[in-house]
Structure formats: C-alpha cells, structure tokens
Amino acid sequence: MKTYKANEIKNIALMGGSGSGKTTLMEAALFESGVIKRRGTVEAQNTVCDYFPVEKEYGYSVFSTVCNIEFGGKKLNIIDCAGSDDFCGGTITALNVTDTAIITLTANGGVEVGTQNNFRHAENHHKPIVFVINKLDHENQNFDQAFEQLKDNFGNKVVLLQYPLNPGAGFNQIVDVLKGKLLEYKAEGGAPTEKDIPASEAGKVEELLGALHEMAAEADEALMEKFFEEGTLSEAETLNGLKKVFAEGDMYPVMCCCAQKDMGVRRLLDFLGEMAPSVAEAPAPKTTDGKEVAPDAAGPASMFIFKTSVEPHIGEVNYFKVMSGTIHGADDLQNITRGTKERISQLYAVDGSIRQTIDEVVAGDIAATVKLKDTRTGDILNAKDCEYTYPAIVYPDPKYRRAIRPQTESDSEKLSALLTRMHEEDPTWIIEQSKELRQTIVSGQGEFHLRTLKWRLENNDKMMIVFDEPKIPYRETITKAARADYRHKKQSGGSGQFGEVHLIVEPYEEGAPVKEVYKFGSQEFKISVKDQQEIPLEWGGKLVLINSIVGGAIDARFIPAILKGIMDRIEQGPLTGSYARDVRVIIYDGKMHPVDSNEISFRLAGRNAFAEAFRNANPKVLEPIYDVEIFVPSDMMGDVMSDVTGRRGMVLGMHTEKNFTRLQAQIPLKEMSSYSTTLSSLTGGRASFTMKFHSYELVPADVQDKLIKEYQESLKEEE
C-alpha cells in the first residue's frame, strides 16, 4: 500500500441500525476496491469485518472494524460500526477519529430508532452526514416512503442525489441525478453501464438537478454569477459547490444501493472520494489546551490510541490515528499518558481480519500496531519534546448493571484481570469493585451488551460466571436534631481507658447556620463554635464536625480520634447498614482523665455517642434517583408512560420530534434494573433511552419498612 498525503485521505464512520446492511456494504466495498476477491456473507459467517467468534455466534457486529480502501486515487479509512445501540461505544470512538458519517437505513424499514440514535451521535460530533438507503431489492421496499421519513425527521437538508428506477425483486437501475445518467447493473452488480436518463424521468431529474445547482451556487460567489448568467452548472462545478455545503453540515445527501447484490456500491465509493472532506480539509483536531494540530507529515510525531482489541492468533492490537508527523516502524515514542517509553514494532494497514505490513503512517492516517508494552485505549504516544495531549473520548453513562462473580470463588483474581482487559476493548463496559455493596458491579449499555461480555468470558476465556441482581447503594440520613453522650471506661490493671463525649447531631443543609441554642426536653444547650470541619464523603454528601467544647473539657488533641469514631459508624447506618450522609455533629462537652484518657478511648466514645444520637434523630433511608430520557415512537407513548409511572417514576416533560417523542422522567435506580429489556419489549426495539444520576431522595415509608426488615433478616443469617 502506498503512502497517501493528507489531502488524499478520507476518514469515514459507517453507521446504521441493526439489520441495515452495513457489514454487507463494507464487504462489497472491499470487493470493489480489490481488497478481497470473493464477497462473504453474514449468514455464511465469512465476512471480513465480523470475524470475532461472538460476532459469528450472534450474526451481529459487536466491535467497530477498521478498513483501509484504496479507490480512485484516494485512501478511504472506513470504520464499520456495530448496529445495536448497546455497542454505541464503538460508534462514538469512530466519530472521534473520522471526518464524515455514513448512516445506512433500509428501503423496507425506513427511519428507525437506530437511524435516529446514529444521527444524534453524528450531529453531536459535528460530522457531515450521508444517508444510504439499502436493500432496494426487498419485496416490501418503499424507497419513496423511506426518503420522506428522512425529510420528516431531519428536515430540508435531506437532498436526493439518487433514486431507484425499478425497486423490488428485479431491481437493477439507479437514476443518478448528479451525473445525469441512468446506472444499469448486471445480475452480479459491480461497475454499471451508464445510459441516458429515460424520457419518463427527465422532468423529475431536471427539477432535482436544478435544486442542486442552486444549492451549489449559493456556496460560492463565482458559481452564483455563472448560475444567474447561464441558469446551469457543470457536474464538476456542482460537485465543488455541494462539497462546501456538505462539509458545513447544510446538506445530507441521499444515495441508494443494494449492497447484497453489489449495486450502487462502486458509485458510493466514487462519491465519497469526491465529496467527503479529506484530512487536510476537515477541521484540525485540538489539544486539551485548545491548540490546533495540523495534519502535517513533517510535524512532530504524535499518535492517539483509539481502540485496543485482543484478536485471535495475534493478541493485543492497538489501533491509532496519527495526529501529526510520520510514524515509522522501530520509532521510539513517549507514552505521555503513563510516563513510559514505547518502541513501535510493526505497522499494519488493516481491513478487518486482513492486515498488510507497511513502513510508515502519515498525519491523518489510521493504522494498527502490536506488542506495545504498556499502552492502552486513550493513550497518547509522542516523539521526544512533543507535548501534545488530546481530550478523552466521552462515552454515554451506562444503563444496565449486574453483579458479576465467578462460579468458582478461587477464580476471583483471574476474573478481575479479564474484566480489566475487556474494559480496555470496550470502554462502555464499566467495572466497579464496590466495597459498600460487597459486589463486583459491571455496567453497560443494555442487556445484550452484558450478555455479550458473559459469552466472551465463558467461550473465549473459559471463565464460567454468574450474574446476580446488583444491590442498590442506599444512603441514610437524619431528619431532626438529637443528642447523646457516652462514657468509655475500662480498668484492668495498669493504665486504663477513659473518654466521655457529649454531642448533638442534626441534618446538614448547605448554608444552614448553626443554632446558638438547642433544646431537648427541658434542657437547653448553648453552642459556641470554636472550630468547624467540612468532610466531603466519598459516597456523596458531607459530614460537618463542630467543636463547641468550652473550659477544656476535652483536649483538642482528642478531636481527631472522636472524628475517627464517628467515621467508623457513618459507614454503617442503623437502618440498612448503608453509608450515612449530610449530618452535622456538634461536640459540646465531655470528660477526660489525666492518666487514662487516650485516642482509642475517645474514638470508642465518639463512635457510640454518634450511633445512639443518629438512631434518635429519626433516621431515614435515601435512594438514588436517575434522570431518564426516553426516545420513543409517538404511537407507543401511552404504554411507555404507563410503565414509567408503574416504576415510581415522575414524568417531567415531553417533547415531540416528528414521529418520535422525547420523554423526560426521574426514576429510582431500584426500578431501572431491567428497563432496557422491558422498553425493547414494549416498543419492538424501536425506542432507546439514556440515564444519568440526579440525586438521593427519601424512599416511601412502605419501601423503607421493607428494606429495614430485609436488613434485619440478613443480620440474623450472619449470626
């Protein structure tokens, strides 16, 4: 493979919902460019892109796959992304290292939730978008309806550049508006025969072409003058004008194809070579401090590792984009993310499972390497004295979680290492060793996402695992003020132990002042703040400690010990054993002994005084509440809303977008356990959702009673 310059390299993300034919399209593109001599099929499990065992098992793409195609004097780096939104991490990664997005949809399915999700991802990353309507030979195809759905959902920027003349079982003709030709295909597809537009289509093509000329003219003053003078533009002039409009995101071209029969694919590659912005034309990436990094092959060498995978018969493969300079085999680079050194061994141009050894990779290009010692996804490797750093890729919050454990307890360490490796391959698999819940929690984008992780562990790594229902990280707090005192006294020969602590607890609210007088029964306690500490808690909320001791009742050197005692108990609330939060503790009195008082005495006294006061302060259980945004077809809104309210959810608002509705709600985490499965069942897989932590709120009384009862029973079982 020759070395291409930045103005010859096009980086493209190939996206689309499940079943839209991306992998088949990629297979046809590889065939048309000469990378493969025979096209495989998903059904036969022999495609270049779906080569992992789990992908063959499911018949789905699971990982994004890098392909390098040479076509028409250009190099097209196309990253084939998984269709299911459960694997959106690969899509988001691809959009961070590419400059154009292709979104596929089918002529029989039209705009589906996968189309919507991928459009939002591409739009959020400010990428020019090409729509490709596939499966024009399907017996239930309706190209016109699919195109109208695109316009309904994405507006007048959707522009028709091609349409099928005879869609359905006998499909073999495409009207190419931009070329002003009819493309006719043989049964085996491939290169079409170009014919004149039939008279029956001349009027439609003229109208569509006129609109394209006008759009192209608006992008350039010289073209505008010519258009006004002559009323038309040449194909090359139209293409140049449309290229500017497309790059600015003001046009979403619509192409069409039948990937399975290799019809329209060659023309799509040709179009991408002409229309998609090259690395030199696309916006330059920026460093974390906002500096633009030009794709200069002569600049300082800098590469970004965007994907790591463990591949059959090879081991760990690192995929990277060269941000600046030129990378050669045997180069010594600095991993500035980890502060280590790396030597590049071999460089590969990659087409899915096919790899070709290359000597160098220039700025803007995408390639792979192996045998890096200590480099992971997201790391940056630079030449000496180059300090470029790039923003980390931001992934969506997880929405499906399970506790995971090995069937054999002795395999715990091995499982931990495997999970760490799998997170490197897919950063949207989140692994948490929860000390609080005493579980290992694995979170992902959906049930299918975690089922895939389980399949790989059990089939690839022979690690049999069990998924359990994850515990909920409840919190405890208090709702009124209370006081308590405790004396710790121990005498057993020699020096003894003595410490006495008097304290008040009350709910803490940001900005709320400490009262000067607290009254409990007939007793009043005057408070004078000598010192105040605010301790942010790892699990959220705060503990505020006030020293109000007068007259030296407790020496200041024992206050840290009292705080340690309080922290001992705040990690285990009395109701459910959950972490406590948002408590203000006022130490106002106590006693000490000139000989027997020590740190352990005051630690124990503080712990027991706090525990008693907390129990007397009307403690309550808090539960995590999540902001949930559901994107659902409008005709299914009633069932989805009913389900949300049945989950103790509170609907905050709705916003209609064409045929879809965006529902915003707040739902307790406890009720979200299998929501992705339920939502898919309710809507036939046509809805999607996101969730993000919002706050902790009091649980209803009946739920609290149930939680306390369960906790008490668990304590009995442990005895």
Query: Max alpha carbon distance in the chain (Å)?
Result: 113
Q: How many residues does the chain have?
A: 719
What are 24-68's pLDDT values in tens digits? 999 999 999 999 999 998 888 898 888 888 888 888 788 899 999
Q: Is 3.30.9.10 the CATH number for 6-197+251-275?
A: no
CA neighbours within 13 Å on the CB side: how many for 78?
A: 30
Pairing of the two strands 579-580 and 475-478 = parallel
Consecutive H or E run containing 177: none
Inter-axis angle of helices 559-570 and 599-616, to 10 degrees? 50
Show the CA angle centred on residue 363, arms to residues 361 and 366, nearest 5°. 55
For the stretch 119-155, pLDDT in tens is 999 999 999 999 999 999 999 999 999 999 999 989 9
* Contact call for residues 567 and 579 (beta carbons, < 8 A): no
pLDDT at 493 over 70: no
Distances, alpha carbon 531 to alpha carbons 170, 175, 560, 632, 672, in Å: 85, 81, 12, 54, 43
Distances (CA, A) of 650 to 542, 635, 646: 27, 21, 10
Query: What is the token pair recorded at 591?
Result: 């006693």
Q: How far apart are CA 707 and CA 696, in angstroms?
A: 16
Q: Which residue has the higher pLDDT, 401 or 233?
A: 401
* Digit-coded pLDDT (tens) for 64-107: 999 999 999 999 999 999 988 899 999 999 999 999 999 999 99
Q: How far apart are CA 162 and CA 159, in angstroms?
A: 9
Q: Is pLDDT at 171 greater than 90 in this prediction?
A: yes
Q: What is the per-residue pLDDT across 460-474, written as a single tens digit (0 to 9) for each?
A: 999 999 999 999 999
β-strand partners of 358: 347
Which DSSP symbol is given to 471?
Answer: P
Question: Residue 364 above 90 pLDDT?
Answer: yes
pLDDT over 90, % of the chain? 79
Pinpoint the residues of the chain covered by CATH 2.40.30.10: 302-382
Given a cut of 70, whether residue 494 has pLDDT beyond it is no
Q: State the Cα–Cα distance between residues 306 and 319, nearest whole angstrom.
A: 6
Q: Which helix (H) or strand (E) holds 685?
A: none
Spelled out in words, what is the top-level CATH class assigned to the domain 621-703? alpha beta
Q: Are strands 542-547 and 583-591 parallel, antiparallel or unpaired?
A: parallel
Amino acid at 710: E
**430-458: average pLDDT:** 93
Residue 329 confidence (pLDDT) above 80: yes
Domain with CATH 3.40.50.300 in the chain: 6-197+251-275
Phi then psi for 505, rounded to 5 degrees? -120, 150
pLDDT the model gives residue 633: 86
CA distances for 76 relative to 71, 338, 364, 500, 589, angstroms: 7, 32, 11, 76, 75
Distance from C-alpha of 29 to C-alpha of 260, rounded to nearest angstrom:
11
Confidence of residue 719 (pLDDT cuts 50, 70, 90): low
Beta partners for residue 656, in sequence order? 661
Provide the terminal-to-terminal Cα distance of the chain, rounded to the nearest Å.
70
211 close to 178: Cβ distance less than 8 angstroms: no
Q: What is the mean pLDDT of residues 516-529?
A: 93
Beta bridge partners of 500: 487, 591
Q: Start-end ranges of CATH 3.30.70.240 in the chain?
A: 621-703
Helix (H) and strand (E) counts in the chain: 16, 38
pLDDT digits (tens, 9 = 90+) for 536-589: 999 999 999 999 998 889 999 999 999 999 999 999 888 899 999 999 999 999
**251 closest CA partner among 162, 97, 127:** 127
* Residues with Cβ within 8 Å of residue 148, at least 6 apart in sequence: none
pLDDT of residue 476 exceeding 90: yes
CA distances from 621 to 475, 535, 573, 672 (A): 6, 21, 9, 18
Determine phi and psi for 117, rounding to 5 degrees: -60, -45
Q: Parallel, antiparallel, or unpaired for β 74-80 and 9-16? A: parallel
In degrees and rounded to multiples of 5, residue 176 shows phi and psi of -100, 105
What is the Cα 243 distance to its own chain's centre? 30
Helix (H) or strand (E) holding 123: helix 113-124
Mean pLDDT estimate for the chain: 93
Q: CA–CA separation, 610 vs 475, rounded Å?
A: 17
> For 698-718, what is each residue's pLDDT tens digit?
999 999 999 999 988 888 877
- Identify any residues that bridge with 531 across adjacent strands, giving them in sequence order: 547
What's the mean pLDDT in 639-658?
92
Query: What one-character DSSP code corresponds to residue 411?
Result: G
Q: Give the ranges where 554-662 is alpha helix by DSSP (H).
A: 559-570, 599-616, 637-646
Closest CA to 549 of 591, 487, 598: 591
Q: Is the pLDDT of residue 220 over 90?
A: no
DSSP three-state, residue 169 = coil
Sheet holding 482-490, edge to edge: 482-490, 497-507, 583-591, 542-547, 531-536
pLDDT band per the 50, 70, 90 thresholds, residue 673 = confident
Nearest to 283 by CA among 272, 295, 271, 274: 295
Nearest Cα to 273, choosing from 33, 27, 83, 3? Answer: 33
pLDDT at residue 696 above 70? yes
Distance CA 615, CA 477 (A): 10
Residue range(s) occupied by CATH 3.30.230.10 in the chain: 476-617
pLDDT at 395: 94
238-244: list long-range contacts, CB under 8 Å, 24+ apart.
Answer: 238/178, 238/209, 238/212, 238/213, 239/178, 239/274, 239/275, 240/216, 241/215, 241/216, 241/217, 242/178, 242/212, 242/215, 242/216, 242/275, 243/274, 243/275, 243/277, 244/219, 244/220
Average pLDDT, integer, range 245-264: 96
Alpha carbon 389 to its chain centroid, in Å, reads: 21
Task: Tell me the pLDDT band of 656, cut-offs 50, 70 and 90.
Answer: confident
Compute the C-alpha angle 382/2/101, nearest 5°.
70
302-382 falls under which CATH superfamily?
Translation factors (2.40.30.10)
Q: How far apart are CA 205 and CA 660, in angstroms?
A: 32
CATH match for 400-471 among 3.30.390.10, 3.30.70.870, 2.40.30.10, 3.30.565.10: 3.30.70.870
Residue from 309, 301, 355, 350 nearest 326 by CA: 301
| Predicted local confidence at residue 232, as pLDDT | 81
Give me the pLDDT at residue 455, please: 94
Average pLDDT (313-339) is 93
C-alpha span between 297 and 449 (Å, rounded): 39
Fill in the DSSP letter of residue 263: B
Say yes or no to pLDDT of 652 above 90.
yes
Contacts of 547 by beta carbon, 8 Å cutoff, 6+ apart? 529, 530, 531, 532, 556, 559, 587
Any idea which fold 476-617 has? Ribosomal Protein S5; domain 2 (3.30.230)
